[in-house]
């Protein structure tokens, strides 16, 4: 691998801005269009998320990604979306022991919220 030491963080500013905007748009779209009564979105079929009821390991990412977007960009809508969905939908994961996906759900949501609160 050849490392280009001339690249600066500022060189990535436009690309990162585009990335975070796309991520926010996709998080909003998922929140608006995905039927959470079917379970957590796991993979896509014909361009739409679907679930596999045997696992809910992706729910933490579904609600944690808006928190990361908010932290990176200051987007208050993403903070509100991630926080509300964590509070409204993630409590059952707190005591869902015995599954190896425990960390994905709780660290991505409650963990992000705790870390962000401690940075203030």
Domain count, the chain: 1
Q: What is the DSSP string of the chain?
A: ----TT--GGGGHHHHHHHHHHHHHHHHHHHHH--GGG----EEETTEEE--TT--TTHHHHHHHHHHHHHHH--HHHHHHHHHHHHHH-HHHHT-TT-TTHHHHHIIIIIHHHHHHHT-
Task: Determine, yes or no, domain membership for 90.
Answer: yes
In a domain, 1, yes or no: no
**Does any domain span residue 18?**
yes
Look up the domain containing 80 and give its range.
Answer: 9-118
pLDDT in tens, 35-56: 988 888 988 899 899 887 666 7
pTM reported for the whole predicted model: 0.87
In a domain, 4, yes or no: no
- Positions of the chain with pLDDT lower than 70, given as ranges: 53-55, 98, 120
């Amino acid at each position: 691998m050849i490392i280009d030491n001339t690249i600066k963080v500022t060189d990535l500013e436009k690309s990162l801005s585009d990335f975070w905007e796309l991520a926010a748009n996709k998080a909003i779209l998922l929140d608006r269009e995905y039927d959470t009564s079917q379970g957590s979105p796991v993979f896509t079929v014909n361009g739409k998320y679907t679930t596999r009821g045997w696992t809910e390991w992706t729910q933490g990412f579904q609600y944690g990604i808006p928190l990361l977007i908010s932290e990176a960009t200051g987007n208050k809508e993403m903070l509100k979306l991630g926080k509300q969905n964590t509070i409204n939908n993630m409590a059952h994961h707190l005591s869902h022991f015995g599954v190896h996906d425990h960390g994905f759900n709780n660290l991505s949501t409650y963990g992000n919220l705790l870390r962000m609160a401690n940075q203030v």
